[in-house]
Structure 1
Amino acid sequence: MSESPNAVDHRRLGRELELFDTDPLIGAGLPYWLPDGAAVRQALEEYVREAERRAGYRHVYSPVLGKRELYEISGHWAHYSDDMFPPMDVGGEQFVMRPSLCPHHAVIFRSRAHSYRELPLRMAELGGMFRSELSGVLGGLTRVRAIQLNDAHIFCTLDQVAEEAAGALGLIREAHAAMGIVPVRYQLSLPGPGGKYVAAPEKWERSIALLREVLDASGLDYEEAEGEAAFYGPKIDVQVADPAGRESTLSTVQVDFHQPERFDLHYIGPDGARHRPVMIHRSVIGSVERAVAHLVERHAGAFPAWLAPVQLAVLPVSDDEHGAAARLVARAAELGLRAELLDQAQGTLGARVRAARLVPYQAVIGAKEAAGDLVAVRLRDGRRLDPMPTGELLGRVRELVDGHSTALWGG
């Protein structure tokens, strides 16, 4: 029998597993991360930063505040202000908590002269942004007011757009495979009726055609959804579902002709003239909060080893093996693994095994193992392996973690 949706609700599991919590003094929609949750978040952030670095992205940092004028230029103030926090008056100027990172990245691009030889220029940031969500729609990590977004913007020529968007889609699919995530569908999000969209029909038609080209070339089945586009352009949305079947967007690729024009972005072409770049917005894992929420529910807390808060639990059978167990934990830590010593103070061996049921690897050390620098290994799925040298165990776990594998042990 499958578990009920409530049994794997990330809000309940997140608190039971001590990943995150909230407090009225901090406020609704503003969760804080506990050590185990912070470990999951950090592993996820390190993964995506390294994947982006290998794909040719350069990382930047930008402020979480900006002058109101910045968002007037970008179009957010006219089209998105209902979802923004009110401006703050400081020294006769108005500052706003940013609802998006793209205006800052446009300004960063504009701050230096660029040649066509530099394009595509891939700029990435894991940065904070803020949404003035109503309290009635807030919940756990899926709808929050302070968001840590895995965001990136690719500035490129028109004839580079399809290849760059396809590359971004490939990064998304690679990350989902590593996280054990299976999207429910791919969606081409299009404008709908109403005035929330930038009025530029030719740019919309061109952007939509480019994204259709990318999706068709990818071989992925997709659906078109009117009314789901960003205010400045269409997007590819990668949809996931929670155990109750409710869908949300986890990852996205967007084509934007609007903001390069608004910020007067340009590069010098081979003809020596100024040309307008195209701006591709792209997020591999979306917001860290929503990604972790989905991972908690997808894996019911039994994360792939590379994401697990504790990757190796070391369990001495008696006090006599405590020293050998402590040395194993220290060796694991030196290798960058998250290891924890569960000794007799935490109860009987059976109780400790049960307490560590979500830990991928359990290393049990009895008298025989301690004498021979061996460990008896229990895997999370119930398998018991023959005693092996501690170095062999640590090397194998490090290999699986480095490979961002969803396999627990393999062949």
Structure 2
Amino acid sequence: MSDHRRLGRELDLFDTDPLIGAGLPYWLPDGATVRHALEEYVRDLERRAGYRHVYSPVLGKRELYERSGHWAHYGADMYPPMRLGDEQFVLRPSLCPHHAVIYRSRPHSHRELPLRIAELGGQYRSELSGVLGGLSRVRAMQLNDGHIFCTTDQAAGEARAALELIRTAHAAMGIGPVRYRLSLPGAGGKYVADPDLWQRAAAVLTEVLSGLPYDAVEGEAAFYGPKIDVQIMDDAGRESTLSTVQVDFYQPERFDLHYIGPDGAKHRPVMVHRSIIGSLERVVAHLVELHGGAFPAWLAPTQVVILPVSAAELSAAGALARRCLDRDLRAEVAGPDRGSLGARIRDARLVPYQAVVGAHEAAGDLISLRLRDGRRLDARPAEELLARISAQVDARALALW
């Protein structure tokens, strides 16, 4: 059974230190490379789907979270405020209040809607030390978050489109959802007391889930509205939520958001929250366990390892590495100083493509390519093989060849 905490350290992806604190992992170069590849991918996916990207501060005044409802309904999971003069500032537990403020900072017409904004931003949760673990449960996380401001008539279509983006991203990462969950409110004071709000939002999400298998579960909703949770499962059979789509009628009212309709009057927008790949920490934890460190080529920290048979081919290997870099392929040379060719091949067993360069290959600008899955290709022109590898990586294909 793969455990991302063990594998992540063995593969030099991330680590922790008691001097930094529990639940606050740091990313090592190879882990940062995987994370960066995911960031680039999801930003491009969102951009093509009509999202505009923003940045917002990780701090906010206490009044911001009182307005959003987090202070009253989510305060137990927030860090205590920091006093600066006469003001109190809080590490944000979510990005939605900032995005609501960004929306209201400019006037909007119905012609602009739906307005889609997204951000890869930090958020912070005051988790108890007993529930922390590796990357899957942390106190500081980078969330792929986004919010759509739309009319009531547009809400179901926008939520459905967000769910389709989630499916696309999961397919590219090799993730198969276990199930969809319609998360509804439960008993107690955790949830906003507005039955009409809940009924309207749940009706939208039920329409989105029409034709899909799902389970309705009480007590798992956000405090301001119901949500669709895309559930995944780890090797130990533990289920968790990776991606979500939420419909929110509450915060647009709290922040007095509006747009000018075709009748010239002010109307209240609906706020659709969605996270395509969830937090980068949790998705990387799942990918490490899912693939056992053998990531799809587009995510692999090193995509091509170049293996000169002897010192005589080091110059040719270095030139090949530069050609890989020119194609935006992540490549490194593993020379004979690292051991025998067989030992270097074993050391590179998780690298998708292993390019062997002997005297014959160096003289003819050829590569003898070995694939991670054990397949071997006869010596072929280097340009032909690099073009094929680049095409697979650019397409974010799961297949190596």
Match of 2:110 among 100, 109, 116: 116
Q: Which residue of 2 aligns with 1:402?
A: 394
CA positional deviation for 1:392: 1.1
Q: Which residue of 2 aligns with 1:107?
A: 101
Percent identity of equivalent pairs? 75
List aligned pairs for 1:3-402, cutoff 5 A.
Answer: 5=1, 8-216=2-210, 219-402=211-394
Consecutive unaligned residues in structure 2, runs of 5 or more: none
Cα distance in 2 between the residues matched to 1:377 and 1:20: 30
CA positional deviation for 1:361: 0.3
CA positional deviation for 1:343: 0.3
Aligned residues: 401
CA positional deviation for 1:383: 0.3
353-362 or 400-409, which deviates more: 400-409
Cα distance in 2 between the residues matched to 1:92 and 1:168: 41
Q: Residue 143 of structure 1: SS of its match in structure 2?
A: coil
TM-score with structure 1 length normalisation? 0.97
Cα distance in 1 between the residues matched to 2:378 and 2:192: 64
**Which letter maps to 1:136?**
G
Structure 1 residues 65-104: Cα deviation after superposition (integer angstroms, max 9, x where no partner)? 0000000000000000100000000011000000000000
**Which letter maps to 1:63?**
P
CA positional deviation for 1:228: 0.3
Cα distance in 2 between the residues matched to 1:380 and 1:137: 36
**Which letter maps to 2:236?**
A
Q: Residue 177 of structure 1: SS of its match in structure 2?
A: helix
CA positional deviation for 1:268: 0.3
CA positional deviation for 1:329: 0.5
Cα distance in 1 between the residues matched to 2:311 and 2:132: 48
Structure 1 residues 255-296: Cα deviation after superposition (integer angstroms, max 9, x where no partner)? 000000000000000000000000000000000000000000
Cα distance in 1 between the residues matched to 2:109 and 2:212: 34
CA positional deviation for 1:172: 0.1
Cα distance in 2 between the residues matched to 1:198 and 1:393: 58
CA positional deviation for 1:388: 1.1
Cα distance in 1 between the residues matched to 2:271 and 2:105: 16
Structure 1 residue ranges (4+ consecutive) displaced by more than 6 angstroms after TM superposition: none
**Which letter maps to 1:151?**
D
**Which letter maps to 1:124?**
A
Cα distance in 2 between the residues matched to 1:226 and 1:355: 49
Q: Residue 116 of structure 2: SS of its match in structure 1?
A: strand
CA positional deviation for 1:397: 1.1
Structure 1 residues 328-358: Cα deviation after superposition (integer angstroms, max 9, x where no partner)? 1011011111101000111100000000000
**Which letter maps to 1:90?**
L
Cα distance in 2 between the residues matched to 1:380 and 1:371: 25
Q: Residue 154 of structure 1: SS of its match in structure 2?
A: strand
CA positional deviation for 1:186: 0.6
**Which letter maps to 1:66?**
G
**Which letter maps to 1:86?**
P
Cα distance in 2 between the residues matched to 1:260 and 1:141: 33
Consecutive unaligned residues in structure 1, runs of 5 or more: none
Cα distance in 2 between the residues matched to 1:184 and 1:71: 34
**Which letter maps to 1:300?**
G
Q: Residue 209 of structure 2: SS of its match in structure 1?
A: helix
Q: Residue 337 of structure 1: SS of its match in structure 2?
A: coil
Structure 1 residues 24-47: Cα deviation after superposition (integer angstroms, max 9, x where no partner)? 111100000000000000000100
CA positional deviation for 1:220: 2.0
Cα distance in 2 between the residues matched to 1:392 and 1:248: 43
